[in-house]
Amino acid sequence: MANEAGISSSDKILAVATKIAQAHGYGGLNLRTLAEEVGIKAASLYHHFPSKADLAAAVAKRYWEDAAAALEVLSVETPDAADRLRRFPGTFRVALENDNRMCMASFMTAEYDDLPDIVKKEVQTFTDVNVAWLGKTLVEAEIVGPRDAKKRARAIFAAVAGAQLMARGRSDIKLFDALIESYRTAGLLPA
């Protein structure tokens, strides 16, 4: 089933659910509110997603797939590996630019103990995708060797996600930019 714009109902549900999850996390993913925003009856959600856990897992999966695709585009469009690393924080900045949203995976990770296992798996995959891309790019940029790539990649991922968290908590995107610049000055990211 597709709406008049040619977007399937499932895709619209996932898009709106992602926006809600970026602002409120898994716990704040209220199915009645979601249905209202999509313009359908709450019972219709279950036609597309049998449970809240299935919906959240689909949202998280779509989120990491979109992130992986964006990182691939960044790799293709930016031949210089060090420049790709400089641009990586921008993949997190985009959420802040979108009504002070936060990386959905960060929100859900904060709720980790309360997540159904199928959601945990998809949230972990988001981190794994980013860390793998960073590790590969760090080696390609000759910043670290293969042996130290994962360790450094995790540090970069954690630092960028932390900068996003701090900036969101103050509704201050300039704080995000200042923190990223401090990571460059400290040598965590290429200057």
Per-residue pLDDT at 1: 45
Task: Write the DSSP assignment of 15-64 as a string of letters.
Answer: HHHHHHHHHHTTTT--HHHHHHHHTS-HHHHHHH-SSHHHHHHHHHHHHH
Q: How many residues does this entry show for the chain?
A: 191
Q: Which residues contact 44 (CB under 8 A, 6 or more apart)?
A: 9, 35
In the chain, what are the domain boundaries?
A: 9-186
Radius of gyration of the chain (CA): 18
Q: How far apart (Å, rounded) are the C-alpha atoms in residues 64 and 2?
A: 24
Is the pLDDT at 127 greater than 70? The verdict is: yes
**Model-level pTM greater than 0.85?**
yes
Closest CA relative to residue 29, chosen from 99, 103, 108, 95: 108
Per-residue pLDDT at 100: 85
HSE of 98, CA atoms in CB hemisphere, 13 A: 15
Mean pLDDT to the nearest integer, 117-132: 96
9-186 maps to CATH 1.10.357.10:
yes
45-80 b/e with 16+ CB inside 10 Å = b?
beebbeebebbbbbbbbbbbeebbeebeebeeebee
Q: Give me 49's structure tokens.
A: 């997603």
Mean pLDDT to the nearest integer, 60-80: 96
Is the pLDDT at 5 greater than 60? The verdict is: no
Task: Write the DSSP assignment of 59-98 as a string of letters.
Answer: HHHHHHHHHHHHHHHHHHH---HHHHHHHTTHHHHHHHHT
Is the pLDDT at 7 greater than 80? The verdict is: no
Is the pLDDT at 2 greater than 60? The verdict is: no
- Residue 168 vs residues 17, 31, 104, 171: alpha-carbon distances, Å: 19, 24, 12, 5
Q: Which residues contact 171 (CB under 8 A, 6 or more apart)?
A: 100
At residue 143 the predicted structure's pLDDT band, cuts being 50, 70 and 90, is very high
Q: How far apart (Å, rounded) are the C-alpha atoms in residues 133 and 135?
A: 5
